[in-house]
Chain A
Amino acid sequence: MKKVAILGVGHTPFAFGTKKTLVELFSEAAMEAITNSNLQAKDIQAMYVGNCLGDFSEGQGMVQSYCASDIGAWNIPAMRLEGACATATMAIINAYIWVASGFFDIVLVGGAETASKMGTSLATRTFAMFADGHYEYPCGLTFPGAFAMLAHLYSAKYGVPLKKLKEQMALVSIQSHHYGKFNKLGQLHNDITKEDVFKSFMVSSPIQLYDCCPFSDGAAALVLAAEEKAKKLTNKPVYIAGMGQASSGNYSTQKDFLPRLRAREIAVKKAYDMAGIQPKDVNLCELHDCFSVASIIAAESLGFTDFGRGGELWEKGETRIGGKIPINISGGLKSKGHPIGATGASQVADIVKQMRGMVEPERQVEGVKIGLTDTLGGDGIICNLVLQRGW
């Protein structure tokens, strides 16, 4: 298997109410990634496009071939992947396999979403399609609803009183907004307080509006290349050193593990083992904070602390720059935004830029050698990537 490097990355602004189409957003991110790789579109041999809901948001399926056509990568094999919010990371894993196998040398991969176009109630309906539509959705399960149930379960199982857990959850959102306000490509640029969180609209008890990521539009893309090719094109290759992906059935099949998501523990172990590292070796992590409590749950399963103690990481500032494990210094899904089909590529793009010293100075983490991304799709897909600085 060949070693696979990330060359250039591209990232549109994340926003609510874009005036661009899905294909336009993807193509802009793609061209930025290609240009930053010192390549042209005709050098791209294949591409993977992550997109979940174009069918609903724009009445547009099969975006991949239109994206390839628009950027001028004519007639190449183009694939669309859908795995709810883990979509783009799934796309990266598949693109990685093609390059690692030696079948292609240079592959473009990314994702795009224009969720804001659906409006809240259709968006809520379509997001709920990423839960069990026959056995769980009919009861009224929504995405925030699922994490709300996990929050209550977490409180009971670990003996963290709900009031304390809610305080910890608020700290997660506050930190995301703090760093997110410096991210020029992010969606939200305001600081928030505990008071703001606690007086915000109750979405699904105990989750309030400021515990939730927003609906977002945007795209992100990367160019992957085989090691020998990459060395000719950049002196700052970032290697995909480890990867893991796992799936689970609906929530009821996960009864023995909740609020832990078993798929995460399996996926991240694969990624750590493949890279030959341990959680303590990770210098920077972008994890899937679709809801504040999701960050706490994720940090535990990724091995950064014991079960039931995730919130303490935020309380003690361990997740900030200079802390034990800086988390979501991009602003995370909460502040940067969450265009679901693009999120995994956005996480990777941000860590690559961090390693190359290319983010805003207020949120630059120095000396990042190993980064970890964590992306959760629906109730059952987890993808983890270990990224390693190659210079």
Chain B
Amino acid sequence: MGGIEYTLTFQQFNETLRKKNKLLGLICDDCGKYTCPPKMTCQECGGTNLKIAELRGSGKITTFTTSYVTAIGREVEAPILVIFVELDEGPWIMGNLVGVDPNLATMESIMGKKVQLVATRVLPTDTYSKGEEAKGGLSRPTFAFVK
């Protein structure tokens, strides 16, 4: 008694993004703000009166990097264009940008640009991420420039 369960678990967030290409977050009944990726409590006020909200999946890029060194098993992915997106609802989420040559990414060509969620890329699980909650792979929020 008195316990609290997650309103939105990693498994549900991950599966929804992977299978339905929908980005889920949480909206707080106390302060009205959004949390994404999900947590047990509201990241703005610490409140626990949360509801699942489907986010629009659009926002603007706040920063980026093109990574040429990758972890073991991911060597073929290099170079990877990693971005941080400020979603229209407020939260920042890390993701990948497609449709751009990672080698040509510059502050001028990437930062501040408007993006929209596109077909989700998935990272296969490895030795260290084999749990049931990650079954089917780890979803990577994937974005492209708004045309």
Contacts and interface: CB of A to CB of B under 8 A. Distances in A.
B91 A255 contact: yes
Contacts of B139: 138
A235 interface: no
Nearest to B110: A152
Interface in A128-143: 128-129, 132-142
Interface stretch (A83-91, A104-112, A201-209): A201-209
B63 A205 contact: no
Interface string B72-88: 11110100101010100
B140 A255 contact: no
Contact of B91 (A141, A205, A252): A252
Given A139-B96, A152-B64, A249-B43, A122 B69 contact: no
Nearest to A255: B92
B37 A255 contact: no
B75 A121 contact: yes
A368 interface: no
Interface string A115-157: 0000011101100110011111111111011001110110110
A149 B82 contact: yes
Which of under 10, 10 to 19, 20 to 34, or 35 or more describes the interface residues of B? 35 or more
Contact of B96 (A140, A155, A255): A140
Contacts of A129: 128
Interface in B26-65: 36-37, 39, 43, 62-65
B6 interface: no
Nearest to B105: A205
A149 B63 CA distance: 6
Interface string A220-259: 0000000000000000000000000000011111010010
A138 B123 contact: yes
Contacts of B37: 132, 134-135, 250, 252
Contacts, number: 120
A156 B129 CA distance: 35
A252 B138 CA distance: 17
A266 interface: no
Interface in A191-205: 201-205
A156 B111 contact: yes
Given A122-B72, A133-B129, A252-B94, A138 B63 contact: no
B105 A128 contact: no
A133 B131 CA distance: 12
B128 A144 contact: no
A162 interface: yes
Contacts of A128: 71
A205 B66 CA distance: 5
A299 B56 CA distance: 38
A204 B69 contact: yes
Nearest to A252: B92
A255 B33 CA distance: 14
A204 B91 contact: no
A124 B69 contact: yes
B67 A142 contact: yes
Contacts of A148: 65, 67
A121 B140 CA distance: 21
Nearest to B137: A138
A124 B72 contact: yes
Contacts of A134: 10, 14, 37, 134, 138
A379 to B, nearest CB: 11
A121 B84 contact: no
B41 to A, nearest CB: 11
B70 A156 contact: no
Nearest to B142: A139
A153 B71 contact: no
B107 A140 contact: no
17 contacts: A124-B69, A124-B70, A135-B94, A139-B141, A140-B82, A141-B94, A142-B69, A145-B67, A152-B111, A153-B63, A155-B107, A156-B111, A201-B68, A204-B68, A207-B65, A253-B39, A255-B62
